[in-house]
Amino acid sequence: MSHPHDLSRRGFLAGASALTFVGGQAQAQAAFPARPINLIVPFAAGGSTDIVARLVGQKMGELLGQSVVIENRAGAGGNVGSTAVARATPDGYTILMGTISTHALNPAILKTVTFDPVKDFTPISLLAVVPNVMVVHPSFPAKTVQEVIAVLKADPGKYSYASSGVGTPLHLSGELFKSIGGVQMNHVPYRGAGPALNDVVAGAVPIMFDNLPSSAQFIRNGQLRAIGVTTKDRVASFPDLPTIAEGGLAGYETYTWNALFGPAKMPADIVAKLNKAANDALKDATVKQRLNDVSAEIVGSTPEALGEHVKVEVAKWFPIAKASGAALE
């Protein structure tokens, strides 16, 4: 484990060149990180994953003494950005903000699988678990789960719901609602939660299942009406908001999570340095407060714990994703 001062800028500069022997000759090798780190967010800007990435990435950059540059590379439910990281050089300079979509759902619904969620990535840290929320435009004539169900049953197929893309947790949250509630809604997929949210706020689509962090401010200022959170328990930032299960759909539960991954076969010392920076960033008072404000449950795990988490999530969600009938090119 690196001493905390090793991650300071002074420590970084002091150790910026180390000697390593290759083939009997001494060569200068820059200490990691010697240049900015590219953190790929595989969804559009403005969504929950983007919010977490920017909060944690900025603090990691301060701790590591190099910028962590956020690159939004959206497409195919997160598959485009994830594939890019899986195929990147495993030197620590290209890492991924992975989610339940990229590592548990996509493998079940992709027509062409372009990576293995376990074998093609190096786990770094599970950062946070994030609740989803059902929101509607204020013009939608319902304020509770039961009222939403009544409106949808009165006009089957009349209403649509937006999501961040086919096969994402937000899409499956809607499909699960339809299944348990016995209702019909048309699915309108977007290239990320941000664009979908913009259209729901504008009234173009009346309903959305969103990650709570990206909808929170719109709920607070009255631009969206929250119907219920999708987790098993209520959340601290909206204690008066019932769960969808409480609202009448017993057994309903969905969520997402955010975690850092690198390409497979990253050197252990680089993984350790990134893990420490990520977990220390989560302990920062400002980062903690902002994540708590949007009800993201902070975790901060070891690489090994994240690796096990992915295996458990794949086993849990694979049959659910298959049953949804969702398919991605």
Strands (E) located in 83-171 = 94-99, 121-136, 160-163
Tens-place pLDDT, residues 170-186: 888 998 899 889 999 99
List C-alpha distances in Å: 301 to 49, 74, 123, 265, 289: 17, 26, 10, 19, 19
Tens-place pLDDT, residues 39-51: 999 988 887 889 8
pLDDT band at 114 (very low <50, low <70, confident <90, very high): confident
Beta-strand pair 255-263/121-136:
antiparallel
In degrees, rounded to 5, the angle at the alpha carbon of residue 300 between the alpha carbons of residues 132 and 10 is 130
Question: Which CATH architecture does the domain made up of 131-229 adopt?
Answer: 3-Layer(aba) Sandwich (3.40)
Q: Is the pLDDT of residue 76 over 90?
A: no
Residue 110: what are its φ and ψ, rounded to 5°? -75, 130
Beta-strand pair 68-72/25-30:
unpaired
Residue 258: what are its φ and ψ, rounded to 5°? -125, 135
Shared fold status for 4-130+256-324 and 131-229: yes
Q: Quick one: pLDDT at residue 106?
A: 84
Structural tokens at position 232: 């098993």
- Pick the most confident of 72-86, 160-174, 263-277: 263-277
C-alpha 168/C-alpha 143 separation (Å) is: 25
Q: How many residues does the chain have?
A: 329
Residue 191: what are its φ and ψ, rounded to 5°? -90, 55
Element (H, E) at 308: helix 303-324
Q: Is the pLDDT of residue 289 over 70?
A: yes
Domain coordinates of the chain in residue numbers?
4-130+256-324, 131-229
**Using an 8 Å Cβ cutoff, are 33 and 66 in contact?**
yes
C-alpha 185/C-alpha 159 separation (Å) is: 5
pTM assigned to the model: 0.74
Q: How many CA atoms are closer than 13 Å to the CA of 188, on its beta-carbon side? A: 18
pLDDT band at 329 (very low <50, low <70, confident <90, very high): low
Question: Which CATH architecture does the domain made up of 4-130+256-324 adopt?
Answer: 3-Layer(aba) Sandwich (3.40)
**Using an 8 Å Cβ cutoff, are 192 and 46 in contact?**
yes
- Pick the most confident of 127-131, 199-203, 297-301: 199-203
At 249, is the secondary structure helix, strand, or coil? coil
